[in-house]
Structure 1
Amino acid sequence: MDTVREYDSVKITRRGREPARDQVMVEATIDLLVNGTRLSSIVTTPEMHRELVVGYLITEGAISSMNDVQGIEQDGNKVDVKIKNFEHFNLWYELRSSGCIGINWEHRDEDLFLPIGQRFDIDIILDSLGYLYSDIHKKTRGAHTACLVDAGGEMRYRALDVGRHNAIDKVVGAAALAGEDVTKMFLLSSGRQPAGMVMKAARAGIPLVVSKAAPISSGIESARRANLTLACFADGEKVKAFSCPERIVS
């Protein structure tokens, strides 16, 4: 299924109106099941659904890695993930549109603290910002992008979605399915950085989040508690680190 569809529109200006045609992002809804029990419905683009649900479970703290996954079955718009220790989860059903979080876990991340391990060169960070460019977003103005980049500047995973949270889930899930170590990578995100976005990265073990957009106070405070480096307002010349600037070397 295509991620973009064309629609007729009417362009209206001070000088009048004329017919137009625009490319628009396509939404699909998938049902996430855990051990046969429906956990959430997720509004997303019609691609990378296995990656999305694995990343979602990791970034929401339901599982720590693929070691907790016993199998994944996909049937149409349903993805059923077989995981261990299902009886410990407090679940409810929630329609999850872009920007929402659908799970409330008893574990509140109090003990989550990322050690200063991998460091990242400022030149590599700034040069990597081009990975966020999306021709689809340029055409539709409706896509968010997330990328995982290694310390050498190679883009390892990239995803687009109607939801900024979903894009992060997809790249985290793709890395997990491939058995990659995300603690050696940094996350590029096209969206603003409130707590919900920052904590997704922290729970996955990603030490550095870089965004061209702004941070939100809750995101800064969460990053500082988790010892995650949050760098925002990134452009070709600089980033502004609101927490743990020592991970970025120049």
Structure 2
Amino acid sequence: MDSPLVKEYDSVKVTRMGKEPAKDPVIVETTIDLLVNGTRLSSIVTTPEMHKELVMGYLVTEGAVRSRDDIQGIEQKGNKVDVKIKNFEHFDLWYELRSSGCIGINWEHRDEDLFLPVEQKFNINVILDSLKYLYSEVHDRTRGAHMACLVDASGRAGHIALDVGRHNAIDKVVGAATLAGDDITKMFMLSSGRQPAGMVMKAARARIPLVVSKAAPISSGIDGARRANLTLCCFADKDKLKAFSCPERIIV
């Protein structure tokens, strides 16, 4: 499969019996610069696609903007994405090179007032059946990708994204949904990655009520989910999941 996301590299396979030449597909990463109102805010290490969606989602999940109404324009030139935002002068601008982990704009903000009411509920069969959306041929080949997906209550996958970073994958699907004008509060999010507070609070700031991961939770993620009244489910497979907060959103 030819893909701008994968590049083949020569390697040497070493076993107890000796050495032999090999070739391996490797996921490709690139760096983009995020500019806000013409000023560079951050550099983001990501895959070579969905850059506008990534930037839009990053600003939403870090609490810089609430909706596309806060955005006056977004333009990409080469590896630079410039976003025009209303009233952004209150943020301290900094330069942070991101990789698979990140520190966000509002990392020290505790989101004490963030509380998601229980409105939309989701059927357990829909949730478990939707895990198929986390399959990626790129990850299957490279073992180097994370996936995220937004799914509506009927089980339809609205937006799917892949990235080298689990945070970036979330930002991409949130950005895609925001740019499309979708109501994220009626969707749940699938993630392939572990769920510390940094991941969980991205979803909470975007008003996503339910997060489902195949991987493990981290204590800070559970604590953050419980404070925000977000439903956090981990260890999900085709038969079961474990809800660590607000299980009443799940209908059996």
Q: After the TM superposition, which of the residue ranges 206-215 and 102-111 deviates more from structure 2?
A: 102-111
Residue 215 (structure 1) aligns with: 217
Cα distance per residue 1:82-131 (max 9 Å; x no partner): 00111111221111111112423675311100000100000000001111
Matches within 5 A, 1:28-43: 28-43=30-45
For the 8 Å contact 1:193–1:215, the answer to whether it is kept is yes
The amino acid of 1:246's aligned partner reads: E
SS at match of 1:87: coil
Matches within 5 A, 1:141-220: 141-220=143-222
Question: Partners of 2:230 and 2:106 in 1: how far apart?
Answer: 22
The amino acid of 1:157's aligned partner reads: H
Cα distance per residue 1:185-207 (max 9 Å; x no partner): 00000000000000000000000
The aligned length equals: 250
The amino acid of 2:247's aligned partner reads: P
Residue 87 (structure 1) aligns with: 89
For the 8 Å contact 1:61–1:105, the answer to whether it is kept is no
For the 8 Å contact 1:145–1:190, the answer to whether it is kept is yes
Residue 62 (structure 2) aligns with: 60
Unaligned runs of 5+ in 2: none
SS at match of 1:89: coil
State the shift of 1:16 in Å: 1.1
Cα distance per residue 1:181-233 (max 9 Å; x no partner): 01000000000000000000000000000001000000000000000000000
Decide whether aligned partners of structure 1 residues 137 and 106 sit closer, same or farther in structure 2, where only a CA change above 3 A counts: closer
For the 8 Å contact 1:95–1:102, the answer to whether it is kept is no
SS at match of 2:7: strand
For the 8 Å contact 2:162–2:169, the answer to whether it is kept is yes
Which of 26, 29, 34 lines up with 2:28 in the alignment? 26
Stretches of 4+ aligned residues off by more than 4 angstroms: none
| Length-normalised TM-score, structure 2 | 0.97
SS at match of 1:230: strand
The amino acid of 2:81's aligned partner reads: V
State the shift of 1:17 in Å: 1.2
SS at match of 2:89: helix
Unaligned runs of 5+ in 1: none
Residue 232 (structure 2) aligns with: 230
CA RMSD of aligned residues (A): 1.0
Decide whether aligned partners of structure 1 residues 68 and 107 sit closer, same or farther in structure 2, where only a CA change above 3 A counts: farther
Question: Partners of 1:9 and 1:89 in 2: how far apart?
Answer: 45
Residue 74 (structure 2) aligns with: 72
SS at match of 2:111: coil
Question: Partners of 1:114 and 1:204 in 2: how far apart?
Answer: 10
The amino acid of 1:177's aligned partner reads: L
Question: Partners of 1:108 and 1:32 in 2: how far apart?
Answer: 24
State the shift of 1:50 in Å: 0.2
Question: Partners of 1:144 and 1:98 in 2: how far apart?
Answer: 9
* Identity score, percent: 79
For the 8 Å contact 1:52–1:169, the answer to whether it is kept is yes
Residue 44 (structure 1) aligns with: 46
The amino acid of 2:211's aligned partner reads: V
